[in-house]
Amino acid sequence: MQSVLEYWPVWMRGLWTTVWLSVCIVVFASVGSTALGVARTAKSPLVAIPARFVTESLRAPSAIVLLFWVFFVLPLVPGMLTLSPVAVAIVVLTLVGSAYGADIVRAGIESVNAGQFDACHALGLSTYQTLHKVIVPQALSQIVPAYGGAARSMIKWTSLLSFIGVQDVLYVANFVRGQTYETFIVLMLLSGCYWLLCLVCGLIFRAIEKTLPLNRALQRASRETPTEMIATAGVPQ
């Protein structure tokens, strides 16, 4: 154990690399998921079909295969840019995360009663106003919990990045294991790192859930008595 603790500064650097890469991937993938998910729900086939094709194309191969293709194969194509391992990691895992998150966004939007789309259309709201003001605030109560689970998966996907040379916590763990031969202790520490990261991620998304408009309204309604609810609505008793 003492020999492993001697490499503690190296562990911290590897863990920090995993943390900031995970944050970048989860944040960027949330943007991509929203764009693809909204496109999947579009009525125009010119928008919905390409979005579905992109989503299924990114989900078909495994993430490690895509990493190998982008890092090892694409640089062999004449005129193609050679990206650093970190850049490849962010780009590839963001795209894969966006593909998986797109279905979460699509399902969340479709969970909202279709009659609300018709009501917004009757009121003269644009598609953007309908989504921004009415549909998405309700859909978020379904999207955020499911995306929280996907975010934890994205954190665990970062364990693949050591195969292309990213010095994340798994890369460091393999290095320390090779230097100390303390396989059990190293793997226990590695498991603890991923467990802690996923736990923190879950707590963050749980806190976000509580701030959503629909969830706040439901919590407020559950605390109010029938008399308070009537008074809030302005209905004479």
Please compute the mean of the pLDDT values over residues 49-72 and round it to a whole number: 90
* Amino acid of residue 73: V
Residue with tokens 């789309």: 117
Q: Give the chain's domain count.
A: 1
How confident is the model at residue 202, as a pLDDT?
92
| Average predicted confidence (pLDDT) for the chain | 84
**Dist. CA 172–CA 4, nearest whole Å:** 11
Higher pLDDT, 54 or 81: 54
| Size of the chain in residues | 237
Please report which confidence band the pLDDT of residue 215 belongs to, taking 50, 70 and 90 as the band edges.
Answer: low
Q: What is the DSSP string of 52-111?
A: HHHHHHHHSS-HHHHHHIIIIIGGGSTT-----HHHHHHHHHHHHHHHHHHHHHHHHHHT
State the DSSP code for 8: H
Average pLDDT score over residue span 169-173:
90
Place of tokens 């490849």: 88
pLDDT interval class at 79 (50, 70, 90):
confident
Longest dimension (CA), the chain: 78
- pTM of the predicted protein model: 0.84
pLDDT exceeds cutoff 90 at 132: no
Range of the domain at 189: 2-233
Confidence of residue 22 (pLDDT cuts 50, 70, 90): very high
Rounded CA-CA distance 94/69 in Å is 15
Per-residue pLDDT at 179 exceeds 90: no
pLDDT-based confidence at residue 237 (cuts at 50, 70, 90): very low
Distance (Å, rounded) from C-alpha 74 to C-alpha 162?
19
**93 Cβ contact partners less than 8 Å away, ≥ 6 residues apart:** 25, 29, 63, 67, 154, 157, 158, 161
Q: Mean pLDDT, to the nearest integer, of 169-198? A: 88
Task: Provide the percentage of residues in the chain whose pLDDT is more than 70.
Answer: 88
Whether 186 contacts 4, CB under 8 Å: yes
Percentage of the chain surpassing pLDDT 90?
Answer: 33
Which is higher by pLDDT, 126 or 32? 32
Per-residue pLDDT tens digits for 87-124: 999 999 999 999 999 999 988 888 877 777 778 777 77
The per-residue pLDDT for 154 is: 93
Q: Is 2 exposed, middle or buried (0-12, 13-18, 19+ CB in 10 A)?
A: exposed
- HEC states along 13-31? HHHHHHHHHHHHHHHHHHH
Question: Please, which pLDDT band fits residue 55 given cuts at 50, 70 and 90?
Answer: very high
- pLDDT over 80 (residue 131): no
Domain holding 159: CATH number? 1.10.3720.10
